[in-house]
Amino acid sequence: MSHDLSKMAAPMLFQHSRGFILLCYTSLRYRSKSTLPTPGPVKSKFLQYLCDRFYDIETIVDFGKRLRLWNAQRKNRYNIQAKNYFGENIAAAVFVLALKGSIRLRGKTEWEDQKGGLVFLQDKDTCLEGANLSGSIINYDGLDNLVNQRNLKQLDLSRCPYIDDWSLSRLHNFADTLQELSLAGCPQVTERGLACLHQLENLRFLDVSDLPSVRHKELVRILLEEMLPQCHIVGMNYPEGVDLPLDSDKHGGEIEEEHQGGAGSQKKREVSI
């Protein structure tokens, strides 16, 4: 009987002392952690504030992105009122200046910006020969304000964050006049957009430097030289070990000779690359 009572008392004793054991373990664990350096009160409050406001900060950042996109869309709208009042040419010039760009008018060599005033508004026959929109927020819709400019010779779209492949597909409207084009530093331009430039038959200068979304730049340069043999292309170099001329005019002449020589010369060139 006594043996049975001892067997029953052991688990009961463990059950009643379980809370005491847990308390001792927690106390020892707290003492071991208390030896570590704790962050200061200012840092602790700042970290706690970030934890509490994490979702608020994420919401604010998202709202800021949407606000910038909305502002870009607003400023790129086609200005019908300016077109009806001033005419297509002057409205295009006003649009470029509104995006903090600069313009070059027909018959002039100097570039004008907002600081120079809007004296050209008095001349109804004013038309653009050059538009510098470098670093602006112009996008696909904003090109509606320029596509009817039939005298545009120079267009600078370098470092424009919203210029993409779809935007480049609209440049065919300048096929008869555009001579100089800069797309340097446009993060959204890819090979597909550059392929649309084959319609710019009068292009003489093309800057395609610093395009992070374009892969195999040396092959893209060969493609551009095939499409635009009369154009001087800068910004994409051939890989080391490839002995090809960098002069676009000479290269254009060699392209014509290869086409006359048939497919054999073209295959030979591909093997050498």
- Virtual CA dihedral for 56, 62, 65, 70, nearest 10 degrees? -100
What mean pLDDT do residues 80-96 have? Answer: 84
CA distances from 89 to 72, 154, 167, 210 (A): 22, 15, 20, 32
Q: Assess contact for 258 and 265: CB atoms under 8 A.
A: yes
22 band by pLDDT with thresholds 50, 70 and 90: very low
Domain annotation covers residue 127: yes
**Least confident piece of the model among 106-120, 138-152, 183-197:** 106-120
Q: Assess contact for 113 and 97: CB atoms under 8 A.
A: yes
What is the structure's pLDDT at 102?
93
Rounded to the nearest 5°, which phi and psi values hold at 117? 85, 180
Domain annotation covers residue 42: no
Domain annotation covers residue 114: yes
What is the structure's pLDDT at 151?
92
What is the structure's pLDDT at 248?
40
30 band by pLDDT with thresholds 50, 70 and 90: very low
Domain annotation covers residue 4: no
What is the structure's pLDDT at 116?
63
Side by side, which strands form the sheet with 232-234? 102-105, 128-132, 154-156, 180-182, 205-207, 232-234
- Record the tokens describing residue 151, joined without a space: 């005298």
Domain annotation covers residue 57: no
Range of the domain at 263: 62-272
CA distances from 219 to 24, 191, 238, 264 (A): 72, 10, 8, 19
Q: Assess contact for 155 and 178: CB atoms under 8 A.
A: yes
Residues facing 104 on adjacent strands: 130
- For residue 242, give the nearest of 221, 224, 258 by alpha carbon: 221
106 band by pLDDT with thresholds 50, 70 and 90: confident
What is the structure's pLDDT at 117?
62
81 band by pLDDT with thresholds 50, 70 and 90: confident
What is the structure's pLDDT at 45?
73
Domain annotation covers residue 227: yes
DSSP state string for 202-239: T--EEE--S-TT--SHHHHHHHHHHH-TTSEEES-PPP
Say whether pLDDT at 232 is over 60.
yes
Say whether pLDDT at 5 is over 50.
no
**Least confident piece of the model among 3-17, 98-112, 175-189, 227-241:** 3-17
- For residue 133, give the nearest of 177, 172, 99, 169 by alpha carbon: 99
What CATH number did the domain enclosing 109 receive? 3.80.10.10
Q: Is residue 169 helix, strand or coil?
A: coil
DSSP state string for 67-93: HHHHHHHHHTS--HHHHHHH-HHHHHH
Domain annotation covers residue 267: yes
- For residue 169, give the nearest of 188, 154, 152 by alpha carbon: 188
**Count: domains in the chain:** 1
- Please, what sign has the CA dihedral across residues 33, 54, 48, 24? negative
pTM (predicted TM-score): 0.65
